[in-house]
Chain A
Amino acid sequence: MNALLLIDFGSTYTKLTAVDIDNEEIISSSKSLTTVDTDIMIGFRNAYRTIEEKCKGKNVQFNEKLACSSAAGGLKMVAIGLVPDLTAEAAKRAALGAGSRILQVYSHQLTLREVRDIIQKKPDIILLAGGTDGGDKDCITYNAKMIAMNIKDVPVVVAGNKNASDDIEEMFESQGVYYRIVDNVMPKLNILNVDPARDAIREIFMKKIVEAKGMRGAEEYINGILMPTPAAVLNAAKVLADGTDTEEGIGDLVVVDIGGATTDIHSIADGEPTRAGVMLTGLQEPYVKRTVEGDLGMRVSAESLWQAVATRKIKKYAPDLKYNVEERCHYLAQNVSEVPQNYDEIEFDEALSMVATEVAMERHVGKIEDVYTPMGKIYTQVGKDLLNVKYLIGTGGVLAYSKNPEKILKAGLFSEDNPKYLKPIEPKLLIDRSYILSVMGLMAVKYPDKAIRMMKKYLINLQ
């Protein structure tokens, strides 16, 4: 049988999925603890043995092995721009869209204090932006110099004012900095162009980062495609929404991914106003958008979640809770491998996940504001209007294993109590029960049609 092995090196578990490529079916899957501290291949081989066991007698031949990874902290970046709301924000969005975790965003000229801060944060890649093409070039040139003089061992993606590129090139060459110069993330005012930077980041991730995370052995074993796991999820969402020449997509969608440390929201939609008489303001939104909430998570970030939303909001979703919310959140943050067993524990986890969904969606979607003018009330919209997206897809452990995924996902929908947030009103709810979204993103790089059909089959409709 012609099979494909899809590998997800997670920060806790290494997950393997075997796919029958001809019949577009999952043959089996397995997982084992990730062994990033010793040799990442040990955990992999454990999972591989399990899958071989399960495939016994089926004559499975793994002709290709593709992998994504968020092991060893995933891809960590800092983004640097000029004005906070403009190129610094554009750089941040490009880095998030490449599947990275943003450690910090810097704007204007870097100070030595900030340079020391960057060194201490140990980013895998620095994204350097600033200035529109033909606009300000002093700031980005100054920041490039600060990097060249002080931080030589971190790869830099330069995506700023094209007029500064000659100077930067010369500086980085002479100082031996590893860099790539790509098209500006903001070539004209308010126009976003994040794809070139995104591609360069992924390329460097494959070439340099993978090796640095002790995955050299893995690289020899797999065939080529290796990307950060969030980038794979984003890729899966994009092909599923858009389709290909030959396979139709399902249209605009939002993915909610609730993890132990972060809650990610991905949206594939242009987000233009759907209501009449609404003026769009602010920076252009990317069609493929990802936001990451580092303070909203089920375990590592349980305490920061509590701090971000207050007890009242958590109790709203679980009125009869026995626990002291603060104590339980503290406990969960200390015991990250805790799996809820009884009714109370499950209820608490569900309440947490609902709050995480609600708040992460609020931060992802656009907002409507009223403005009073001599002609009466008008509305301005900042961000994406997602009122009419067709699908809301849930993924991540708590959703995949929950008995009530529908209840959790509904916490992310539009609410009359807070109508200024442009969240989906009545999307179809899908759940990624077999945990395939990230690996389908990998598969879609080479076999988009097959991946789309498999997602249509394996994402379960909740209504």
Chain B
Amino acid sequence: MKKNIVLGVIGADCHAVGNKILDHAFTEAGFEVINIGVLSSQEDFINAAIETSASAILVSSLYGHGEIDCRGLREKCEEAGLKDILLYAGGNLVVGKQEWGPVEKRFKDMGFNRVYAPGTSPEMGIRDLKEDLKIA
């Protein structure tokens, strides 16, 4: 059975190109992508994941507000009954050129399972997701 994943760009961010690329890549790789598009609130991600019994939420953010926009997402997932859902985040998550290590740690502390630096190829995310979901 195909695994459902929710994909979208969070907050007041309307960068659509990366979103299309990810949609294409993950669909090609065999996932059922529920793409909620740009300008999506945390609630939109969660509602879509509940409705579709998704196994992962993939959050993109390009405009540098990623940290504010993603804060509290894990807690809300818990409240909504999405206990074991995987949370991934990637893009230009923070303002300016910051050292990657501490940024990754901040997102992990917020409850994200995987965090991707700017410029990561979609293949890496696909490989990780398959590994995390234990599918070949």
Residues of A at the B interface (CB closer than 8 Å) are 82-87, 130-132, 134-138, 161, 186, 188-190, 281, 371-375, 380
Answer whether A373 and B46 are a contact pair too, CB < 8 Å, given A136-B81, A189-B79. no
* B118 touches A (CB below 8 Å): no
Name the residue in A87, A137, A189 with the highest tally of chain B Cβ atoms < 10 Å from its Cβ.
A189
Q: How far is the CB of B12 from chain A (nearest CB, A)?
A: 8
Residues of B within 8 A of A188 (CB): 43
Alpha-carbon distance between A418 and B83 when the two chains are bound, in angstroms = 40
CB interface residues, B 78-115, toward A, < 8 Å:
78-81, 83, 95-96
* B24 touches A (CB below 8 Å): no
Q: Is the CB of B79 within 8 A of A186?
A: yes
Answer whether A132 and B79 are a contact pair too, CB < 8 Å, given A190-B43, A374-B95. yes
> Per-position contact with A for B65-78: 1 when CB-CB < 8 Å, else 0?
10010001001101
Interface of chain A, main secondary structure: loop
Answer whether A189 and B46 are a contact pair too, CB < 8 Å, given A136-B83, A373-B64. yes
Name the residue in A86, A87, A130 with the highest tally of chain B Cβ atoms < 10 Å from its Cβ.
A86
Residues of B within 8 A of A132 (CB): 79-81
* B63 touches A (CB below 8 Å): yes
Alpha-carbon distance between A281 and B65 when the two chains are bound, in angstroms = 13
Residues of B within 8 A of A371 (CB): 65, 68
Count A-B pairs with CB separation below 8 Å: 60
Residues of A within 8 A of B43 (CB): 188-190
- Picked from A85, A134, A161, the residue with its CB within 8 Å of the CB of B72 is A85
Alpha-carbon distance between A350 and B63 when the two chains are bound, in angstroms = 50
* B126 touches A (CB below 8 Å): no
Answer whether A87 and B63 are a contact pair too, CB < 8 Å, given A134-B50, A135-B50, A371-B68. no
Q: How far is the CB of B71 from chain A (nearest CB, A)?
A: 8
Answer whether A135 and B79 are a contact pair too, CB < 8 Å, given A188-B43, A190-B43, A374-B63. yes
Residues of A within 8 A of B60 (CB): none
* B42 touches A (CB below 8 Å): yes
Q: Is the CB of A86 within 8 A of B75?
A: yes
Alpha-carbon distance between A85 and B75 when the two chains are bound, in angstroms = 8
Alpha-carbon distance between A281 and B70 when the two chains are bound, in angstroms = 12
Q: Is the CB of B42 within 8 A of A82?
A: no
Answer whether A380 and B68 are a contact pair too, CB < 8 Å, given A83-B75, A189-B76. yes
Answer whether A189 and B80 are a contact pair too, CB < 8 Å, given A134-B50, A281-B68. yes
Residues of A within 8 A of B68 (CB): 281, 371, 380
Alpha-carbon distance between A235 and B79 when the two chains are bound, in angstroms = 31
Alpha-carbon distance between A193 and B33 when the two chains are bound, in angstroms = 33
Name the residue in A83, A138, A161 with the highest tally of chain B Cβ atoms < 10 Å from its Cβ.
A83
Q: Which residue of B lies closest to A139 (CB)?
A: B78
Q: Is the CB of A87 within 8 A of B79?
A: yes
Q: Is the CB of A189 within 8 A of B83?
A: no
